[in-house]
């Protein structure tokens, strides 16, 4: 009876008639599917948390990485379904359920279709029932590690080797830091090993494999090698300027950095800065910020920036009181003292839709502080501009109860209607788009922000658009597999490219410059009082800036796993791209004249090094082979 219960909990059928295989309650992960006969893939979803505040997307890729299906799930679709046909294929389809998901997804397919699940690492990937079982394989000679993290649900993993019954147990313990987890080494063997994984406990679960393929099946017969065929990327360049590229910013420390850090801060070549200003500090010490604001402007050339007013100790919900007013006055005086160079945006409060109980509370402090800024014409002459609302996410709601009433775009729409003449820019923060295939939503976010503020007769947004803070995860909900590896380089390059694609965005900021003990999400790592080094994402940013040009050109791109941005400067043209998938892509570009004058192709891979790569340019077509998980820059001189 126990075995029957386990099978039923996984959704497997015991009847003689063919019935679908079911994967229940997936929240974050990839499902690879290989059909030997025509099949239908059916996905159903139900709400998990705050689904009515959040849009989501599902993606289906074929065996060459082409997009076969995309499903936009509206916030109003808390429940629903989607079906796609699967044609027989020797290479695997990939169904992507990007996390963080606000819905629970159940996937059904024919039991003969080979299905392998790749869960997220550290972040929870599913919700399970006590006793659920899966299988995984460790190849001969592999040093594999089974790992898991406690998320309040499943509390232990038990692995049993099928061949001889050998067991290993892994208790999943709560930790003070999100990025801490448990792991156990699996024995190395001369032959392939199949293991049965037993999940103990119900609810959220995070489990994964290192040192071997991170793939799990519902029965051992389906543990077959994953096949992904090479891909084809076709690009067409047009000689049309869409707009300027955004200034790439980083969040700079609220202090004067030591001189020993200057070279490392120089390397990513930030074009803009994002700051906080803590009113409880500046109300008492009005000149506290003078020295480092001057340093960032004069030494590092930061002449465009945005500052969010807040309180120290992450106090985000300011009040219109004497301390806040004095703090704002101090910031304005410091900014006037900078001498009128550049543009200095000010946002009143940090992520108000997350931190204020309702819109009326935020509206009150916005109106009060806007009057304070506008009361002195010298502030505008010094380059001070007002940005709002610096929301936590724009299209979707913040990670808070009643999120449907707190979507950033809704608060911004109301404030624009009521106080539009007081507003110079729309600012927002984007978090929790952790999936490489889901980063294209950044382009959609910028487009919808532009739709909200409207375009002028030159096609430019009527209010500046500032995506001033972003990272894979918010707060300290970080994974070292994300933050400390080449994954962050791929992710950031993709976000930069997608956000810049239409020439509408003025600023894009990575949060933050340097790791902090509880928030190790910087571009640089602090190794000691006077010792700093760039993390992989900082080295990728250095590569991006080396090839960054002033204007965005129109580019057609038929690929899904490869993101590309076309740019032009006074004397150069260039493509900046990233292959987010593991498969090799054969890239063809039309629209550039052959031969490319002073043409150069550079790759940036997992070794964090930039290197020359070969390309061909014949009959008006540039072609090259792009390895998996690689950034590239194709550059040539303007004719």
Query: CATH 2.60.40.1180 residue ranges in the chain?
Result: 555-637
**Confidence check: pLDDT of 16 > 50:** no
pTM of structure: 0.95
| C-alpha closest to that of 117 among 133, 134, 132, 100 | 134
pLDDT tens digits along 397-455 = 999 999 999 999 999 999 999 999 999 999 999 999 999 999 999 999 999 999 999 99
**Confidence check: pLDDT of 74 > 90:** yes
**Confidence check: pLDDT of 12 > 60:** no
Angle CA(13)–CA(18)–CA(19) in degrees, nearest 5?
50
Mean pLDDT, to the nearest integer, of 469-491? 97
Cα 425 to Cα 371, 412, 493, 499: the distances in Å are: 16, 10, 25, 17
**Would you place residue 142 in the very low, low, confident or very high pLDDT band (cuts 50, 70, 90)?**
very high
Q: Give the pLDDT of residue 319.
A: 86
pLDDT tens digits along 234-275 = 999 999 999 999 999 999 999 999 999 999 999 999 999 999
**Would you place residue 317 in the very low, low, confident or very high pLDDT band (cuts 50, 70, 90)?**
confident
Class of domain 246-548 as given by CATH: alpha beta
**What HEC string does 297-309 produce?**
HHCCCCCEEEEEE
| C-alpha closest to that of 561 among 87, 30, 117 | 30
Quote the CA–CA distance of 41 and 489 in Å, as a whole number: 33
Mean pLDDT, to the nearest integer, of 12-35? 77
**Would you place residue 585 in the very low, low, confident or very high pLDDT band (cuts 50, 70, 90)?**
very high
**Confidence check: pLDDT of 9 > 80:** no
Query: CATH 3.20.20.80 residue ranges in the chain?
Result: 246-548
Q: Torsion angle of alpha carbons 268, 271, 276, 279, nearest 10°?
A: 140
Q: Give the pLDDT of residue 14.
A: 31
**Confidence check: pLDDT of 396 > 70:** yes
**Would you place residue 5 in the very low, low, confident or very high pLDDT band (cuts 50, 70, 90)?**
very low
| C-alpha closest to that of 132 among 23, 266, 235 | 23
Provide the mean pLDDT of the chain. Answer: 94
Can you list the alpha helix ranges (DSSP code H) found in 259-317?
A: 262-266, 279-282, 290-298
Q: Give the pLDDT of residue 238.
A: 97
Quote the CA–CA distance of 143 and 2 in Å, as a whole number: 33
303-317, 416-430, 513-527: range with lowest mean pLDDT:
303-317
pLDDT tens digits along 264-278 = 999 999 999 999 999
Sheet of strand 156-161, all strands in order from the earlier edge strand to the far edge: 133-138, 193-200, 156-161, 167-171
**Would you place residue 19 in the very low, low, confident or very high pLDDT band (cuts 50, 70, 90)?**
low
Number of H helices, E strands in the chain: 13, 37
According to CATH, the superfamily of the domain at 555-637 is: Golgi alpha-mannosidase II (2.60.40.1180)
Give me the percent of the chain exceeding a pLDDT of 90: 94
Mean pLDDT, to the nearest integer, of 37-62? 97
Mean pLDDT, to the nearest integer, of 78-104? 97
Q: Give the pLDDT of residue 516.
A: 93
**Would you place residue 18 in the very low, low, confident or very high pLDDT band (cuts 50, 70, 90)?**
low
Q: Give the pLDDT of residue 1.
A: 34
Q: Which residues pair with residue 23 across a beta bridge? A: 107
Give me the percent of the chain exceeding a pLDDT of 70: 97
């Amino acid at each position: 009876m126990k075995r029957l219960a386990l099978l039923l909990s996984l959704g497997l059928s015991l009847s003689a008639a063919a019935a679908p295989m079911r994967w229940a309650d997936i929240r974050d992960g990839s499902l690879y599917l290989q059909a030997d006969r025509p099949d239908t893939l059916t996905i159903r979803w139900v709400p998990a948390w705050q689904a009515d505040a959040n849009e989501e997307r599902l993606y289906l890729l074929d065996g060459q990485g082409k997009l076969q299906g995309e499903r936009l799930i509206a916030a109003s679709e808390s429940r629903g379904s989607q079906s796609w046909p699967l044609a027989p294929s020797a290479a695997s389809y990939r169904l992507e359920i990007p996390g963080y998901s606000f819905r629970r997804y159940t996937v059904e397919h024919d039991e003969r279709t080979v299905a392998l699940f790749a869960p997220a690492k550290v972040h929870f990937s599913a919700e399970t029932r006590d006793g659920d079982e899966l299988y995984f394989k460790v190849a001969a000679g592999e040093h594999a590690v089974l790992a898991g993290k406690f998320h309040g649900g499943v509390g232990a993993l038990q692995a049993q080797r099928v061949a001889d019954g050998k067991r290993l147990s892994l208790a999943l313990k709560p930790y003070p830091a999100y990025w801490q987890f448990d792991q156990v080494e699996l024995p190395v063997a001369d032959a392939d090993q199949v293991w049965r994984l037993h999940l103990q406990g119900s609810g959220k679960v995070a489990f994964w494999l290192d040192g071997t393929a991170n793939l799990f099946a519902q029965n051992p017969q389906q543990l077959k090698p994953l096949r992904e065929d090479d891909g084809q990327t076709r690009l067409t360049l047009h000689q049309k300027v869409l707009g300027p590229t955004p200034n790439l910013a980083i969040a700079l420390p609220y202090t004067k950095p030591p001189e020993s850090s200057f070279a490392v801060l120089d390397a990513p070549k930030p074009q803009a800065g994002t700051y906080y200003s803590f009113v409880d500090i500046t109300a008492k010490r009005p000149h506290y910020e003078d020295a480092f604001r001057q340093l960032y402007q004069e030494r590092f050339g930061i002449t465009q920036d945005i500052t969010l007013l807040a309180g120290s100790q992450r106090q985000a919900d300011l009040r219109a009181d004497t301390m806040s007013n004095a703090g704002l006055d101090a910031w304005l005086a410091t900014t006037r003292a900078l001498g009128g160079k550049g543009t200095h945006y000010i946002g009143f409060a940090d992520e108000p839709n997350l931190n204020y109980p309702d819109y009326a509370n935020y509206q009150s402090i916005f109106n009060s502080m806007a009057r304070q800024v506008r009361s002195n014409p010298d502030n505008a002459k010094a380059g001070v501009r007002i940005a709002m609302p610096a929301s936590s996410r724009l299209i979707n709601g913040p990670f808070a109860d009643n999120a449907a009433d707190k979507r950033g775009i809704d608060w911004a729409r109301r404030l624009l209607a009521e106080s539009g003449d007081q507003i110079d820019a729309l600012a927002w923060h984007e978090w929790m788009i952790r999936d490489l295939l889901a980063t294209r939503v950044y382009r959609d976010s910028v487009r919808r922000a532009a739709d909200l503020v409207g375009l002028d007769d030159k096609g430019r947004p009527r209010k500046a658009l500032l995506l001033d803070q972003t990272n894979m995860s918010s707060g300290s909900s970080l994974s070292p597999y994300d933050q400390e590896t080449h994954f962050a380089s791929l992710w950031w390059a993709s976000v930069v490219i997608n956000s810049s694609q239409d020439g509408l965005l003025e600023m894009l900021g990575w949060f933050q410059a340097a790791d902090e003990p509880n928030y190790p999400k910087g571009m640089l790592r602090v190794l000691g009082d006077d010792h700093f080094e760039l993390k992989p994402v900082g080295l990728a940013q250095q590569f991006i800036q080396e090839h960054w040009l002033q204007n965005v050109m129109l580019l057609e791109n038929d690929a899904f796993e490869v993101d590309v941005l076309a740019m032009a400067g006074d004397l150069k043209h260039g493509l900046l791209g990233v292959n987010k998938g593991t498969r090799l892509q054969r890239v063809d570009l039309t629209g550039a004249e052959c031969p490319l004058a002073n043409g150069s192709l550079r790759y940036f891979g997992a070794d964090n090094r930039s290197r020359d790569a070969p390309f061909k340019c014949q009959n008006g077509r540039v072609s090259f082979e792009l390895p998996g998980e690689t950034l590239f820059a194709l550059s040539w001189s303007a004719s």
